[in-house]
Structure 1
Amino acid sequence: MARTQGTRPRKVRLWRWRRNPLRRRSDLAEAWLVLVTLLLALLLGVFSGLTAAAAVDGSLAERRERTTPVPAVLAEDAAGPSVTENGDGGVWAKVRWTAPDGTGRTGRAEVDPGSPAGTGVTVWTDPEGRLVSAPPDGAEARFQTVMAGVTVAVAAGGAVLLGGWLVRFRLRLRRLAEWEAEWRRVEPSWRKRMTG
C-alpha cells in the first residue's frame, strides 16, 4: 500500500513479542533481555536501597547509643555571629566538662554565638569522654537514611540497566555482522539480476 505524502508509518508496539515472518530469534532474545533487565533493575534497586537504608538507620542508632550528652561550661566568651559562623548559626568555642572517669577535660565545641564564659552548654562525648559531634536524630536522621537508600537503589538499578544496554549493544553488533555476511552472499546474484 502506497503511503500518501504527509502521513507517518504506523508504529507497531511490542512487535518482537508477536509472531510474524520478519521476526528473528535475535529479536525475541532482545525482547526477553529488555524485560529481564528492567525487572532485575527494579528488584535489585528496591532490595539494595532498602538494605542500605536499614544499614544507615542501624549505624545511626548505634552511634546514638555510643554517645552521651554531657553538661559543660564555656571556658571563654563565644564569638559573635560574624566570626566563624557555620550554616547552623553556631560558633566554635573552648568548653570544659567532666569525663566518665572523673577527670576534667577541655576542648572546642559548637555553641550559640555571643555566649559569655561560664555559660552552661551540652556537649556529646563517646564512652572514653572525648568530644564527638551530636548524632543526627529526627528529620536529619530520616533524611540521611532516605538519601542513602535512594542513592544505592539508583546506583544498583543503573548498573543493571547499563549491563543490559551493553549486552543489547553487543547483540546489535552481532546482528549487523550477520546481515553484512548475508549481503555478501546475496549481493552478487542480486546484481546480476538487476543488470542482466
Structure 2
Amino acid sequence: MAVRTMSGVWRWRHNPLRRRTDLAEAWLALVTLVVMVLAVPAVGALCGSLTDASLRQALAEQRRHRHVTAAVVVARAEHQTAPAQPDGSMGRVTRTRVVANWTAHDGSSHTGTLGTTLKAPAPGATFRLWTDDHGSPVPHPMTTGAAATHAVFSGICAAAMAAGLVEGTRRLIVWRLIRRRYERLDRAWARYGPDWGRTGAGS
C-alpha cells in the first residue's frame, strides 16, 4: 500500500492530464498512510499506558483498604441464590446466600446476609470474605491480570478510534474535493455546453 501510494504521488507530478484535485488526493493518501503507521499506534500505546497506570493506582488503593477475613455460616438465607458481586474478573458465578458472622479488620463483629460459592453451606462452615476498613463486604481487589487486560483493551480501542477518525477525515476531504471537481465541470459545461457541436463554436 505504501509503495502504491508513493507511486501514485509520483505519477501525478508530471502527468499532462493531472488536475489539482488528483494531486491533492494522492498527497492526502500519503499523509493518511504516514499517520496510520506512526500516530495511530502511538495513540494506542499512550492510552494503554495511561490506563495501566490508573488501574495500578486503583489496585494499590484497593489492596490498602480491602481486607480478607473468614465468615462463619449461621444459616441459609431465605432466598437461596444470587449473582456474584463484580470483582474485576471477566465472568460471573452463582452464589448461595447465607446468614453469616465475620470479624472486620478493625476487630468489630458483624452479621449479615452474604453470597458464598460453598456448595453445601452448613452452619459452622467458613468461607473467605473481603471487607473494607469498616467491615462492610466488598468485592475482592482487581487482579493484576485483569488490570493488564483492561489496559491492553483500552489501548486497542483508542488505536481503532484514532484510525477511524483519520480515515473518516480523509474520506470527508476526498468527498469535498470531488464536489469541487464536479462544480468546475458544471461551470465549464454551462459556459461551453450550449455551443457544443456548432460549426465554428469557440472560434
- For the aligned pair, the TM-score class normalised by the smaller chain equals 0.7 to 0.9
**Unpaired stretches in structure 1, ≥5 consecutive residues:** 1-11
Q: Deviations over 1:155-174 (max 9, x none)?
A: 12111211121111111111
1:24-173 to 2 correspondences below 5 Å: 24-67=19-62, 68-77=66-75, 83-84=81-82, 88-93=92-97, 94-107=99-112, 108-173=114-179
- Tell me by how many angstroms 1:146 deviates: 1.8
Conserved 8 A contact 1:49-1:150: yes
Aligned AA (1:58): A
Q: Report the CA distance shift for 1:46/1:106 in structure 2 as closer, same or farther (over 3 A).
A: farther
Q: Report the CA distance shift for 1:167/1:126 in structure 2 as closer, same or farther (over 3 A).
A: farther
- Tell me by how many angstroms 1:109 deviates: 4.4
Q: Deviations over 1:104-156 (max 9, x none)?
A: 23453453333333333223334454432223325433322221111111012
Kindly, what percent of the aligned residue pairs are identical?
32
The alignment status of 1:17 with 2:23, answered yes or no, reads no
Relative to its length, the structure with more strand (as a share) is 2
Conserved 8 A contact 2:9-2:27: no
Could you tell me the TM-score, scaled by structure 1's length? Answer: 0.74
Q: Report the CA distance shift for 1:114/1:58 in structure 2 as closer, same or farther (over 3 A).
A: farther
Provide the residue aligned with 2:186 in structure 1.
Answer: 180
Aligned AA (2:71): V
Q: Report the CA distance shift for 1:105/1:71 in structure 2 as closer, same or farther (over 3 A).
A: same
Supply the distance in 2 between the matched residues of 1:55 and 1:95 (Cα, whole angstroms).
40
How many correspondences in the alignment?
Answer: 182
Supply the distance in 2 between the matched residues of 1:54 and 1:74 (Cα, whole angstroms).
42
Root-mean-square deviation (CA, aligned residues, Å) is 3.1
Q: Give 3-state SS (helix, strand or coil) of 1:97's partner.
A: strand
